[in-house]
Amino acid sequence: MSASSFPLFEPSSPPQLTPASELELADPDFYKIGYVRSMRAYGIEFREGPDGFGVYASKDIEPLRRARVVMEIPLELMLTISGKLPWMFFPDIIPIGHPIFDIINSTNPETDWDLRMACLLLYAFDCTDNFWQLYGDFLPSVDECTSFLLATEEDLQELQDEKLASAVRAQQQRAFEFWETNWVPHSAVPLKIKRLAQEPERFMWAMSIAQSRCIKKEIRIGALVQDANMLVPYADMLNHSFQPNCFFHWRFKDRMLEVLVNAGQQIKKGEEMTVNYMNGQMNNFLMQRYGFSSPVNPWDVIQFSGHSRVHLDSFLSVFNISGLPEEYYHNSKLSGDGDNFVDGAVIAAARTLPTWSEGEIPPIPSLERKAVKELQEECQQMLAGFSSTAGQDQQILESMPEARRTLEAAIKYRMHRKLFIGKVVQALDIYQERLLY
Torsion angle (degrees, nearest 10) of CA 384, 387, 388, 390: -60
374 three-state secondary structure: helix
Please, are residues 132 and 190 in contact by the beta-carbon 8 Å criterion? Answer: no
Q: Which string of DSSP letters, residue by residue, matches 140-197?
A: --GGG---GGG--HHHHHHT--HHHHHHHHHHHHHHHHHHHHHHSSSTTS-HHHHTT-
Between strands 239-240 and 272-275, the pairing is parallel
Please, are residues 300 and 318 in contact by the beta-carbon 8 Å criterion? Answer: no
Whether residue 233 is preceded by a cis peptide bond, meaning omega within 30 degrees of 0, is no
- Which residues, including other chains, have CB under 8 Å from residue 63's CB and lie 6 or more apart? 263, 264, 265, 266
| Kind and range of the H or E run holding 116 | helix 113-126
Q: At what angle do helices 405-436 and 283-290 cross, to 10 degrees?
A: 160
Other CB atoms within a 10 A radius of the CB of residue 182 amount to 20
Going by C-alpha positions, the residue among 64, 61, 19, 23 that lies closest to residue 43 is 61
Q: Give me the phi and psi of 270, to 5 degrees please.
A: 90, -10
Q: What is the 3-state secondary structure (H, E, C) of 63-80?
A: CCCCCEEEEEEEHHHCEE
Report the amino acid identity of residue 354. P
Q: What gap in Å lies between CA 308 and CA 213, rounded to an integer?
A: 41
Burial degree of 36 (CB within 10 A; 0-12, 13-18, 19+): exposed
List alpha helices for 246-404, DSSP H: 283-290, 312-318, 344-352, 365-384, 390-399
48 three-state secondary structure: strand
| Kind and range of the H or E run holding 259 | strand 256-261
Q: What gap in Å lies between CA 334 and CA 319, rounded to an integer?
A: 9
Burial degree of 178 (CB within 10 A; 0-12, 13-18, 19+): buried
Between strands 355-356 and 310-311, the pairing is parallel
Report the amino acid identity of residue 50. P
Q: If the chain, 437 residues long, is cut into consecutive pieces of 10 residues, what is the mean pLDDT of each piece?
A: 35 53 90 95 94 93 94 94 80 84 88 94 91 94 94 96 97 96 80 91 97 93 87 96 95 95 95 94 96 96 94 93 91 69 95 89 88 97 95 96 93 97 96 80
Q: What gap in Å lies between CA 307 and CA 354, rounded to an integer?
A: 8
What pLDDT score does 190 carry? 87
Going by C-alpha positions, the residue among 139, 154, 149, 140 that lies closest to residue 169 is 149
Please, are residues 161 and 151 in contact by the beta-carbon 8 Å criterion? Answer: no
| Kind and range of the H or E run holding 47 | strand 44-49
Number of H helices, E strands in the chain: 14, 17
